[in-house]
Structure 1
């Protein structure tokens, strides 16, 4: 839920900043870039917070090698992608890469939901709401990648 809140609130605040005169944020496209970047900063940082990291390692499907490395790699990619979203010249490519990353990480979310893995003591998001969220995140990234 926190990633969705970060995306929605970040986008709304960026759009408001555009409406009050911040020229770089004047429009929905740049506001969406800021909101999605904030979301990926939130999710990327969590990969390195000790209270969450061990649980994220447990989310990795058992058949995949080196789960700790995979959690580190995906966290770094999320943070680099977030920066890329904020640079107009790289935003479209970053959004496309992040959409692919969300799709690539989806099996970990499915695995976590099925195996009852917790994240900081809370159960993983159930599969249907998680799927809806992921579709929304990929859609926003696609709008940035292919939009105005």
Structure 2
């Protein structure tokens, strides 16, 4: 839920700042900067809560610790890529794929009741998926709209 709040607050804040600076409502810039801020926020979790994040990774995935850190690095790279107009389309495509690939970790965490912050099995459980899956789909739709649909072909 926190990433969604970060995304929405960042979008409104960025939209207001860009309007104040340029005098126009630049939804493309605001939408991509907001997603970049959210990605930096979530990437930080991969480095702070890495023990709990490792617990989230499904059993069939090898090198769990490396995967957690790699996911955090990818989120930082995606944040940068969304802010560079020439790389925005490719970044959006890869970010959508990334969001789909990490969804099993969220499902696994919910099924096992993992609390990634405490690295414990005292998390929210499967009811959390009623929020998490739609939120993940919202993130995908956001990236598709601001990273693919609003971007003008070069």
CA 1:103 to 1:47, structure 2 compared with 1: closer, same or farther past 3 Å?
same
Contact 1:29 1:147 in 2 (8 A): no
CA 1:39 to 1:124, structure 2 compared with 1: closer, same or farther past 3 Å?
farther
Contact 2:15 2:30 in 1 (8 A): yes
Whole-Å Cα distance in 1 between the matches of residues 37 and 30 of structure 2?
Answer: 11
Report how far residue 56 of structure 1 moved: 0.3
**1:52-77, Cα deviation, whole Å (9 max, x unpaired):** 11000000011211110110111110
1:96 paired to 2:93:
yes
**1:33-65, Cα deviation, whole Å (9 max, x unpaired):** 01100010011111111xx11000000011211
Q: CA RMSD in A?
A: 1.6
Contact 2:56 2:106 in 1 (8 A): yes
Residue aligning to 1:38: 37
Residue aligning to 1:140: 142
Whole-Å Cα distance in 1 between the matches of residues 47 and 9 of structure 2?
Answer: 23
Residue aligning to 1:15: 15
Count of residue correspondences: 145
Residue aligning to 1:129: 131
Structure 2 residues without counterparts, runs of 5 or longer: none
Structure ranking higher on relative contact order (CA contacts 8 Å, 6+ apart): 2
1:111 paired to 2:113:
no
Q: How does 1:60-71 map to 2 (within 5 A)?
A: 60-71=57-68
Report how far residue 124 of structure 1 moved: 4.9
Whole-Å Cα distance in 2 between the matches of residues 119 and 57 of structure 1?
Answer: 8
CA 1:34 to 1:55, structure 2 compared with 1: closer, same or farther past 3 Å?
same
TM-score using structure 1 length: 0.91
**Which segment is superposed worse, 12-21 or 120-129?**
120-129
1:28 paired to 2:5:
no
CA 1:114 to 1:108, structure 2 compared with 1: closer, same or farther past 3 Å?
same
